[in-house]
Amino acid sequence: MDARVQVRVLYSDGCPNAPHAIDLIERVGREIGVQIAIEQVLVESQDQAVALRCLGSPTVQVNGVDITPSARGKTNFTLA
């Protein structure tokens, strides 16, 4: 079976944690044998943060869902 997961990484300019998050996602995909398509999205405005449901930089979404269960109902979207 060929599994493919869509991962979106939302980040603000200069975020020091975004590259580490992307490296971790790629490493985990290799280790568990899952193909991961990573979409990196630079969030440049508060309006964009709201539209993309960005809860801070970086925000990681798998198949459109935030990876942090407690964050899924939050609405305080931001570039922070």
- Tally of CA atoms within 13 A in the half-sphere of 20 that contains its CB: 6
Tokens of 72: 């899924």
Query: 3-class DSSP state for residue 22?
Result: helix
Task: Report if residue 80 sits inside a domain.
Answer: no
Task: Report if residue 76 sits inside a domain.
Answer: no
Task: Report if residue 79 sits inside a domain.
Answer: no
Task: Report if residue 77 sits inside a domain.
Answer: no
Task: Report if residue 61 sits inside a domain.
Answer: yes
Task: Report if residue 38 sits inside a domain.
Answer: yes
| Number of domains forming the structure of the chain | 1
Q: What is the pLDDT along the chain (80 residues), one digit of tens a residue?
A: 456 899 999 999 999 999 999 999 999 999 999 999 999 999 999 999 999 999 999 999 998 899 988 888 888 888 77
Q: Which amino acid is at 62?
A: V
Task: Report if residue 8 sits inside a domain.
Answer: yes
Which strands, in side-by-side order, build the sheet including 4-11? 35-42, 4-11, 59-62, 65-66
Place of tokens 């979404």: 61
What residue numbers bound the domain in which 23 lies?
A: 4-71
- CA-CA distance, 73 to 55, in Å (whole number)? 11
Give this prediction's pTM. 0.89
